[in-house]
Chains A and B, each alone.
Chain A
Amino acid sequence: MAAETATAGLRTFWSGTITFGLVSVPISLFAATRTRGTALRLVDKNGAPVERRYVCSKDGKELDWDDIVRGYEVKKGTFVIVTDEELEAIEPRKTREIDLRTFVPVDQIDPKYFDSAYFLVPSAATNKAYRLLAHVMEKNQRAGIATFVMRAKEYVVAIIAENGILRAETLRFADELRSAEDLELPKPAKPKRAAETKFERAIASRSGKLDLRVFLDDYAERLEKLVEKKQRAHRDVVRVAAGEAAPESEGGEVIDLMAALRQSLGSGRKPARRSSARKKTAKKR
């Protein structure tokens, strides 16, 4: 089974081409979201990082990706093996191409459809077609819509340009969303004027601006306080031995995503291991 390829230390979720008209632009998809700095790492009693290994449940042997296949359980304990090649062969084109046949106003896409975001990084030696598409889409405030297949699943995707960079927002299919009718919620009834006024006033009194970037994360704050306290008391502070792999977080992300992305987009800095996860916090205090 093919493992995901990594470019500049970043995990490529998908690579292929994006087409509009007869123009084809080779690109790779990278996650546009990352694990939070407060994500905890798993370690053993002495603080050595925990590693995940795959083993066969029958003979207990440790397995590499090449020893692993995908199976679909048709009845308990009976699997039909399906290969990556077969899954691609179902829709060879959609597995390799995002064909933008429709462009829509970006603000027409309702937030309830948004699922995950990825950056599109040009993977060819030339990037003119990429820059052209990003420029024109951003200027016109248009998103390109297409369906494509990634990791054996079909997605409807909106390609959006921002700051000269293309990103893919996977959307939920309309039939993946339940309606109020599906849920059998009571039918809307005309509200009483007094009740409506009560809510209108409440809304008006709380309207304003809110910076979501400084939106307090209470849990993270409490966690940091505990860590600082233990650090000051020199309690349970462990060193990661030099040369040892940086521990995997629960989300499995240790690379500084930003640095790696910057490099992939072509500004040339080598990706670094994530520096102090809470450096910002340390400065703040």
Chain B
Amino acid sequence: MAQAIWKGVIKIGSVRLPVKFYSAVHDESVHFRLLHKTDHAPVKQKLVSSATGDELSAGDIRKAYPVTPRQMVILEDEELDKLEPKSSRDIEIKKFVDPDTIDHRLYERAYFLGPDGDSGDYFAAAEALRKKGKEGVARWVMRNREYAGALRYEDGYLMLITLRYAEEVIDANALEAPSGRALNPREVQMAGQLIEALESEFDPTQYHDEYRARVLELIKTKQRGGKVKVKAFRPKKTDDQSLDRVLAASLARAKKAS
């Protein structure tokens, strides 16, 4: 079995369920190093004081809380250590909410939960969550950090997706949308038809990262001393006057394809 990254106990009131955490996400990006152009030596970061320009070592650096743009309060490491959450194994479910009540953008990273010990209760909890059609909002402390998460039913199992703080997400309703002259009803209608013509079910399995393999291929080619052809792509843009015509042409093409 895969290696669990953490163990905890889900608590719904007085009902307890011990679980193991497994990372449901694996990242496969190609990582580059930053190098100095002339000698290809790796680049390091150095921290300097903006007042003196002197390089600072870890011991010279403090953390500060900005009270106003012009005023800060310096906090010592010992003070910050005392603020750290108490370590605990409890994953407390605060509330069960209807699905779709949590903003998409709050979801951060998914973990599978597996049974820790007896699996009877675990699968009973998963089944109960499915039947009730709810999503649990959980709080817990993992590795000195406080987390909020959504406990969800996932194909027979329990999944916990960590949530961002609401403050980190900018609300689209707080922004003003681009404005201009009223849209042309004929264009609205054609755009609607075009979207309908391109409509389908969401099938995540049909998308693959093809780029990564090709980046690695590029690296191999260059390693062998091969040359790479550089060609650029210049995208077009549709101007306001031709929008009507371009929409009509798009529709005709979409209809032919379907």
Contacts and interface: CB of A to CB of B under 8 A. Distances in A.
B77 to A, nearest CB: 11
A128 B198 CA distance: 21
Interface in A70-122: 70-74, 79-82, 85-97, 100-105, 107-114, 117, 119, 121-122
Interface string A240-258: 1110111101000000011
Nearest to B106: A212
Contact of A48 (B46, B49, B97, B214): B49
Contacts of B157: 180, 185, 188
A176 B188 contact: no
Contacts of B231: 89, 92
Contacts of B61: 42-44, 50
Nearest to B4: A183
Contacts of A96: 233-235
A230 B187 CA distance: 61
By DSSP majority rule, is chain B's interface helix, strand, loop, or mixed?
mixed
A212 B115 contact: no
A178 B34 CA distance: 31
A213 B169 CA distance: 10
Nearest to A207: B96
A8 interface: no
11 contacts: A21-B198, A21-B249, A56-B36, A89-B230, A102-B198, A169-B105, A188-B126, A212-B137, A215-B166, A226-B79, A236-B74
A197 B132 CA distance: 11
Given A102-B198, A165-B172, A55 B123 contact: no
Contact of A56 (B39, B69, B228): B39
Nearest to B150: A111
Contact of A40 (B36, B75, B240): B75
Given A67-B37, A258-B174, 15 more contacts: A19-B235, A33-B164, A37-B167, A42-B62, A52-B47, A88-B230, A105-B202, A107-B100, A108-B201, A156-B204, A165-B175, A206-B96, A207-B95, A238-B73, A247-B50
Contact of B192 (A93, A102, A139, A258): A139
Contacts of B243: 23, 128-129, 132
Interface string A34-74: 11111011111111111111111111011100111111111
B34 A57 contact: no
Interface in A183-231: 183-186, 188-192, 195-200, 202-210, 212-213, 215, 217-219, 222-223, 226-227, 230-231
Interface in B36-51: 36-51
B200 A104 contact: yes
A174 B222 contact: no
A227 B73 contact: yes
Interface string B129-167: 101101011000000001010101011110101011111
A240 to B, nearest CB: 5
Q: Which of B1, B68, B72 lies at the interface centre, i.e. has the most chain A CB atoms within 10 A of its CB?
A: B72
Contacts of B12: 199, 202-203, 206
B95 A68 contact: no
Contact of B2 (A67, A162, A184): A184
Interface string B230-258: 11111111111001001101110110000
Contacts of B176: 262, 265-267
